[in-house]
Structure 1
């Protein structure tokens, strides 16, 4: 049987990744595929926590650029992540994976409030924990939430699952055909070169807590499992 390289991980899913080719909303085929891939890594014995974004429904930055109060727009974005989290929970449960959704904004009728020790206990029991509503504060991205939750639950790696690129490049590969892909980077490389892996707050959190970051393409069949067992895919960021 394959042995996982990582015992506990945080999987970061963007909201856009759940929308497939449409760019908005939730595409059933995509979310079911994601659920199947997550089931595969849970069956390996890896404890999985997920941070999901909300950009397929609402982006706080976009609302702010249109004149809306930034804090108000960000709270709307946090609520959008809850919709995605509940949809992902439904897909996972149908795939036979036990899950819990925890939110930073209290809404007890649909999810548990985020409690660090309770989240860790769920993980130890083999449940997938989906963290929604960001970290409960405006002006912070879900990238930062992923890094923060990874530090809190002592995850070994943040898996940055992408639906449009297979790693980190020195330029946009869709616009620059000969853009160079990086196999390995340090945290300082990312910060000094201004590479778009995660925002600077998230990178700094990972650096301070020695949490590895792995950027890969989740649309390639089996990539999530390959990442967990330690195959060389995507781009790795570490000390």
Structure 2
């Protein structure tokens, strides 16, 4: 068995990745598939933190465009991430993987409040930690949450799992079939070329704290393990 290349990782999942082909809601089969892949990585001794989006249930930006107060719409989106996190935790626990949900908005009946030192302690005990409710503040994306939490817990890499693309391309491959896939690039190039992998706040956090990012497809089973073992799939982004 190939050894893991990372000791501690942050896995970033979009809300849409949990909805399957239907594009909304939570698809139990998809959740179970992701949980089984996380289990494979946990068996390698890797410390795993997960940040889940909420776009399969609600997007704050969409609510704002409909005329809602932006802060209120974003708080609703944070609550959606909690629902996804609890669903993922349930699947992990069913498979015998101990896990904890930590949320930036206090709701002690369903999850722990986010406390950095406690999160690190859970990771050291090989518990999967799922960070929910974003940063706890409106106007910040879950990509920024992933970058912030990765810096706080001193993760070695962010694995950005996508359900609709297998890396970063020069253009949208669905629109232009001649779009070229990057095997690697720098954060500065990503920002300058407007590739839209992460928002600028998240990208700057990763760049300033020297946290590499691997963008890959989660639709093929075993890909999380392959990335953790150092297989060159997807696109790696690092440095300036």
SS of the residue corresponding to residue 160 of structure 2 reads strand
Match of 2:43 in 1: 43
User: What is the 5 A alignment of 1:31-180?
Assistant: 31-180=31-180
How far 1:2 sits from its partner (Å)? 2.2
SS of the residue corresponding to residue 173 of structure 2 reads coil
How far 1:30 sits from its partner (Å)? 0.4
- C-alpha separation between the residues in 2 aligned to 1:9 and 1:193? 27
Give the TM-score taking structure 2 as reference length.
0.99
SS of the residue corresponding to residue 21 of structure 1 reads helix
Match of 2:14 in 1: 14
- C-alpha separation between the residues in 2 aligned to 1:2 and 1:120? 25
SS of the residue corresponding to residue 85 of structure 2 reads helix
Match of 1:201 in 2: 201
- C-alpha separation between the residues in 2 aligned to 1:129 and 1:221? 21
Gaps of 5+ in 1: none
The root-mean-square deviation of aligned C-alpha atoms, in Å, is 0.5
Find runs of 4+ consecutive structure 1 residues off by over 4 angstroms. Answer: none
Match of 1:236 in 2: 236
How far 1:222 sits from its partner (Å)? 1.1
- C-alpha separation between the residues in 1 aligned to 2:111 and 2:221? 30
- C-alpha separation between the residues in 1 aligned to 2:29 and 2:108? 29
2:21 is equivalent to residue 27 of structure 1:
no
Match of 1:216 in 2: 216
SS of the residue corresponding to residue 55 of structure 1 reads coil
- C-alpha separation between the residues in 2 aligned to 1:216 and 1:151? 21
TM-superposition CA deviations, 1:180-227 (whole Å, max 9, x none):
100000010111001111111000000000000000001112111000
How many equivalent pairs are there? 239
- C-alpha separation between the residues in 2 aligned to 1:198 and 1:126? 28
- C-alpha separation between the residues in 1 aligned to 2:205 and 2:132? 19
How far 1:101 sits from its partner (Å)? 0.2
SS of the residue corresponding to residue 236 of structure 2 reads strand
- C-alpha separation between the residues in 1 aligned to 2:220 and 2:197? 19
Gaps of 5+ in 2: none
How far 1:7 sits from its partner (Å)? 0.4
- C-alpha separation between the residues in 1 aligned to 2:113 and 2:82? 12
